[in-house]
Structure 1
Amino acid sequence: MVFKLCCLIVRSVTLFTNRVFSRKDVENEIVFAEDIYKVINELARENNLNIFSWRISFPGVEPRLTQYIPDYLFRERLVSIGYLNRININEIVSLVESGFYIPILSSAERSIDKYIFYSKIIHTLSKLNPIYATKVSIGFHDSSFQTPYFPDSSSRGVREIGLSFIYPQCLSTSSLDTLKSSFQEIFALINSFANQVEEATGVKVVVDYSLSPWMNNSVAEVLEKIGFKLVEPGALHGISVLNELILSNMDRGRAVGFNEVMLPYAEDDLLKQYGGEGLLHATDFLLYASVCVAGIDMIVVPEDEYKLAKLIADAEALARVKNRALSLRAIPVPNNIGERIPLGKFGRVPVIPH
């Protein structure tokens, strides 16, 4: 059996940085990142792999130090500031306007006021520019959690290289046996590349093996092909089948982050088609998240601070019961349900009801 491994894409190469306390620390991490990126880019070329994005994830940079991160970096790299010690709306707005991704770590407090505060942050950003809301997430997990998936990315404070991949179109879906075999072959290639990167850079390499989409490289389509349409009964079973294949084939010694099926609404063409046909609600993603980290990601909903606050509360409740990391990213807009809004690289995205 020959699989279409030429379609495997490196979704992201992320440097998780050391802790930074000074201008020199910040500059050292940026120089180090650029040096290893050159090495990794050459390895990718030798392996016929395309790299979709280059990222730097800090372990919570004090806002006063962000001035030492040069503007040019944001044109070429995605940069996460990491988990902040305090949350100030004006400060977050300023950082996002500068180009940073901001992961907000949900506090232990369980009150509607907290959820309204988070909703207000998201609404404030989206009113300025809906793209800004795509750069902030609410994470329901502890501070030791680390993933190359932005925005919910923060370094643990020790240099590591994180890899993630796009591979829905590499999966053979003609039978369960061929699906299993294609996961094995894809992950073997991923692990081989990770080993090469680690050997060439001398830096520990970790991988988030999640099955994630990018537009026509659709996870929802994979589910349809194996007989489980997301908007029909059986969807949760289909998701769990894919999750089991990820977990049983990944290298647990390298695994970091989510390592599950991902269903970010605005990043999957078939999900957007469902949304445009009126087949999806934001709360459907809570249902999917009950069996995977589909989470509530990249949903585009009508503006309503209180409704979004309650959705955030539901997401945290689910994360607690599930006892797994979960994240939420929402884009509230002043548009009607069914209208398509322009969202930059994500294209035109239909608004769905809460």
Structure 2
Amino acid sequence: MRTRSVTIFLSKISKDMINDIYLKLKGIRYDTFTKRISFPETHEETDLGKILDLLPEGNDIIFSVASLRQNDKRINQIKDILSSDKRVYANVLVRNPDIDEIVKLILNLDPEQATRFALLVNEDFLMTPYFPTSTSVAVRNMFALSLIYVKDFKEGKGTQALEKADQIGKMIEKDTGIKYFGIDVSLSPWMEESVGEIIEQEGERIFSRGNIFTVSNINKKIFQDTWSSRVKPIGFSEVMLPVAEDNILRERVLDGSLDLNGLFQMTFGCVAGIDMIGVHENKELYSKIIKDSIAVQFSKRKPYGIRLIPSRGEEKIYTNDFGIIPTIKAV
């Protein structure tokens, strides 16, 4: 088990508070993949560009700084803040199919910017350590953990991994004085630690009939491990299939085995959503993907994230942080 992130959720935004939390987060002695700070829903009178003035210098911490509702006129400012600072992430809450401005924004992002922007289809904002869909709804400063524990899960040691992470959370609370909120227990891949590999070991090659059932069974096991470990689950707490972060999923898209229809079908098995996948630049297609996602979320009644990477005709999109992001077949 590795700690994927320690994320502090701010109760309010001020330069002094951000600096104080920044120093406490930097001082955490436990090894973690990333350290993060999540801001509350962006106040209706706040200019997004001015939020960047509040951020301390340094590249060792990332920030979820903008959380807007889908009818917010500041959506057209999101590209500017993403292009101004590579440490910042943003999300938009979607609740209905009035999505024209959102589609325009996504299609206008370059691949690197698109990896730091997501849509959250849900009734309200979500307190999760997973960026870009993270928004603080805390009444006091709190923190939470996300994990990389695919190997532990595969070996039947998911409960032990969650117990170990919970102990780390309690020790961080003791060291920092910041309230420990819980763990997003989502089974999330990172390259060679592949959730796709688990699906294929327990079922068949992705995508085949029966994969949805397999994903659902994996989710049940996550719930069982969470119950046994007695940790507090927060956020998504489900199987995650971010394609460009999973070596097997990436390969299945590149060889044509996994297309958009297959990926969508697996999200009915309680997967977080359509995530980290290249999709050919097409306004009508993007609108349909988002509207279909709204329908899936309505059926699941669970939060659903969307992170689309615009493809301008290439089969492989090259990025510094994730390597190859494959473009998925849409038909």
Per the TM superposition, whether the score is higher than 0.5 is yes
Note the 1:42-121 alignment, pairs <5 A: 42=29, 44=30, 50-61=31-42, 62=46, 63=48, 65-70=50-55, 72-73=57-58, 75-84=59-68, 86-99=72-85, 100-106=88-94, 108-110=95-97, 114-121=98-105
Deviation at 1:9, TM superposition (A): 1.3
- Tell me the amino acid that sits aligned with residue 283 of structure 1: N
Deviation at 1:253, TM superposition (A): 5.9
Deviation at 1:287, TM superposition (A): 0.9
- Alpha-carbon distance in 2 for matches of 1:215, 1:87: 37
In structure 2, the residue matched to 1:203 is 178
Of the candidates 180, 183, 192, which is equivalent to residue 158 of structure 2? Answer: 183
Residues 281 and 311, structure 2, Cα contact 8 Å, conserved in 1: yes
In structure 1, the residue matched to 2:7 is 14
Deviation at 1:89, TM superposition (A): 4.1
Residues 206 and 257, structure 2, Cα contact 8 Å, conserved in 1: no
Task: State whether structure 2 residue 246 is matched by structure 1 residue 304.
Answer: no
Task: State whether structure 2 residue 136 is matched by structure 1 residue 152.
Answer: no
Residues 250 and 325, structure 2, Cα contact 8 Å, conserved in 1: yes
* Shift in CA distance, 317/252, structure 1 to aligned 2, threshold 3 Å: farther
Task: State whether structure 2 residue 150 is matched by structure 1 residue 168.
Answer: yes
Show CA shifts across 1:301-338 (max 9, x none). Answer: 111111011110000111011111101010111124xx
- Tell me the amino acid that sits aligned with residue 31 of structure 1: D
Deviation at 1:266, TM superposition (A): 0.9
In structure 2, the residue matched to 1:353 is 329
- Alpha-carbon distance in 1 for matches of 2:149, 2:294: 29
Of the candidates 12, 20, 29, which is equivalent to residue 31 of structure 1? Answer: 20
- Alpha-carbon distance in 1 for matches of 2:132, 2:222: 22
Instruction: For residue 88 of structure 1, give the secondary structure of its aligned residue in structure 2.
Output: helix
- Alpha-carbon distance in 2 for matches of 1:294, 1:259: 8
- Alpha-carbon distance in 2 for matches of 1:334, 1:55: 31
* Shift in CA distance, 101/252, structure 1 to aligned 2, threshold 3 Å: farther
* Shift in CA distance, 321/172, structure 1 to aligned 2, threshold 3 Å: closer
Task: State whether structure 2 residue 119 is matched by structure 1 residue 138.
Answer: yes
The range that moved more, 290-299 or 259-268, is 290-299
- Tell me the amino acid that sits aligned with residue 77 of structure 1: I
Deviation at 1:33, TM superposition (A): 2.9
Deviation at 1:268, TM superposition (A): 0.5
Show CA shifts across 1:69-89 (max 9, x none). Answer: 34634x222111142362434
TM-align CA RMSD = 1.9
The range that moved more, 145-154 or 60-69, is 60-69
- Alpha-carbon distance in 2 for matches of 1:89, 1:143: 17
In structure 2, the residue matched to 1:316 is 294
Task: State whether structure 2 residue 110 is matched by structure 1 residue 122.
Answer: no
Instruction: For residue 163 of structure 1, give the secondary structure of its aligned residue in structure 2.
Output: strand
Task: State whether structure 2 residue 268 is matched by structure 1 residue 290.
Answer: yes
Deviation at 1:262, TM superposition (A): 0.3
- Alpha-carbon distance in 1 for matches of 2:49, 2:12: 15
- Tell me the amino acid that sits aligned with residue 238 of structure 2: E
| Identity fraction in percent | 30
Instruction: For residue 248 of structure 1, give the secondary structure of its aligned residue in structure 2.
Output: helix
* Shift in CA distance, 353/87, structure 1 to aligned 2, threshold 3 Å: farther
Deviation at 1:202, TM superposition (A): 2.5
Instruction: For residue 235 of structure 2, give the secondary structure of its aligned residue in structure 1.
Output: coil
Runs of 4+ that moved beyond 4 A = none
- Tell me the amino acid that sits aligned with residue 208 of structure 1: D
The range that moved more, 60-69 or 203-212, is 60-69
What is the aligned length?
A: 318
TM-score by length of 1: 0.84
- Alpha-carbon distance in 2 for matches of 1:289, 1:9: 25
The range that moved more, 268-277 or 83-92, is 83-92
Instruction: For residue 171 of structure 1, give the secondary structure of its aligned residue in structure 2.
Output: helix
Residues 169 and 217, structure 1, Cα contact 8 Å, conserved in 2: yes
